[in-house]
Chains A and B, each alone.
Chain A
Amino acid sequence: MVCITGCKKAHNITFILEPFKYKDTTIMTIETLNARRLLCPLPVIRTQDKVKQLNVGDRLEVICTDPGVMQDIPAWCRINGHKVIEATAGNHEYILLIEVGSS
């Protein structure tokens, strides 16, 4: 297969350049929310308000500095039918990747 990046060499890797499709119909968007310096429950409120503007399957990355979000945002997601895909902590920052559910 000829490389689609234009180098004209043969590779056995396929590059997928199409946008990722969720359930074959919706194009997924990934948004980022800066919730640094906000203390709980404000990061949860900002997440809640942002999620309202997104569609099912969209993803939201929330960047926070209050460690309480590691407990509160997953709890909020469980209650409201969203999914935490990834939660990472380091260097006094806490990042959660949320997938919007159908609630």
Chain B
Amino acid sequence: MSKQRKAIALISGGLDSMLAAKTIMEQGVHVEGINFFTGFCVEGHTHAIREKDKAKPKRNNSLWVAEQLGMKLHIVDVIEEYKNVLINPKHGYGAHMNPCLDCKIFMVNKAKQWIVENDFDFIITGEVIGQRPMSQRKATMPIVAKESGADDLLLRPLCAKNLPATLPEREGWVDREKLHDITGRSRKPQIAMAEQFGFDDYSQPAGGCCFLTDKSYSAKLVDLWKSQGHKEYQLDDVMLLKVGRHIRPQPNFKLIVAREEGEGRFLQGYKNEFISMISLSHRGPLALIDGTPSAEDLYLAAQITARFGQGREAEQVDINVTMIDGSERTLQVKPIKDEDMPKAWYV
């Protein structure tokens, strides 16, 4: 009896990687999933933070996919290693701060390391030629295979018939005839396949599953890098970019103002690391101050904090200021008027 081959499937939580894994499982290959957590994955985060999202299901789509397919899923924390991908992408960024091609190369390379360590035979991705303008073009497919070091151990079941045969096909571990030839941006073939396999309720997020493809998030990331004068970041920095209104009145400081209760609770957790402000005289949001504000800057920040509370029309609002060392004081301020807050302050 021939040996049962083993493949690791890169699982993003979307439909394509689910279909790719299923296609190979159908051929009797043992498939397990691998999902990389870069720190920028959309999964759950904003749901967890924002009160208004509480009603939405909070499922993690990668776990959901794995469960639907009846396969194991390995979730790998790549936050630290990913920094180099995002900070110095050899192939540059996409429409926003998404270094998709370098990211794919990085992930396939990690998967290659994983199959070597775990005695698996090959790697599967849900890539489709022409699906994404930067990372999924016919010209980029060999680049990913080559630069990741996976070479012909990388099989893309959804578009394999449009690509040269890989080792699993040549060796007969999988039947090339039963693979697919999907190209382009139309989702119809995938939707038809999903129906055929009986999958419904799968995830097809409009903006993908990564914050780096989001325009407003990318703007906040660029602002962070610009303000600190370098591109280094910590996980907390990138988490905070997902939360609240970010207002930068001066290059040396910005405010992160909670938009609702859930965000306020989340920001509370950072009170030991940032100066924080909250109105004492009126109901209002918690604001964190990031940077090195002067005493005058703090006064301006208090006026802005007051503007987002119920005292916005009041003559005077009492704002509690808590410094990082825990010392507190109260500033009595007149809330800033809308017309005095230029649009450019909003990051």
A interface residues, Cβ below 8 angstroms from B: 37, 39-42, 44-45, 48, 66-68, 70-72, 75-76, 78-80, 92, 103
Q: Are B77 and A75 in contact (CB under 8 A)?
A: no
Q: Are B239 and A40 in contact (CB under 8 A)?
A: no
CA distance A42 to B58 in the complex (A): 14
Which residues of B sit under 8 angstroms from A44, Cβ to Cβ?
60, 63, 75
Q: How many interface residues does B have (CB within 8 Å)?
A: 29
Interface on B for A, CB 8 Å cutoff? 35, 37, 41, 43-45, 47-49, 54, 57-60, 62-64, 66-67, 71-77, 239, 265, 269
Complex: chain B residue closest to A75, CB-CB: B63
Residues of B within 8 A of A72 (CB): 44, 58-60, 63
Give the 8 A-B CB pairs with smallest separation, nearest first: A40-B44, A75-B63, A68-B58, A68-B44, A66-B48, A72-B60, A39-B45, A45-B77
Is A40 a contact partner of B66 (Cβ separation < 8 A)?
no
B59 near A79: Cβ-Cβ < 8 Å: no
Closest to B46 in A: A39
Bound-state Cα–Cα, A41 to B63, Å: 10
Q: How far is it, in angstroms, between the C-alpha of A41 and the C-alpha of B73 when the chains are bound?
A: 12
Contact call A39/B48, Cβ cutoff below 8 A: yes
Chain B residue with the shortest CB-CB distance to A66: B48
Extra contacts, 19 of them, besides A72-B60, A75-B64, A80-B72 (Cβ < 8 A), are A39-B48, A41-B35, A41-B37, A41-B60, A41-B75, A42-B77, A44-B60, A44-B75, A45-B75, A45-B76, A66-B48, A68-B58, A70-B58, A71-B59, A72-B44, A72-B59, A75-B59, A78-B67, A79-B63
In contact, A41 and B67 (Cβ under 8 angstroms): no
Which A residues touch B62, using CB under 8 A? 41
A76 B48 Cβ-Cβ under 8 A: no
Nearest residue in A to B47 (C-beta to C-beta)?
A68
Q: How far is the CA of A79 from the CA of B67 in the complex (A)?
A: 6
B35 proximity list for chain A (CB < 8 A): 41
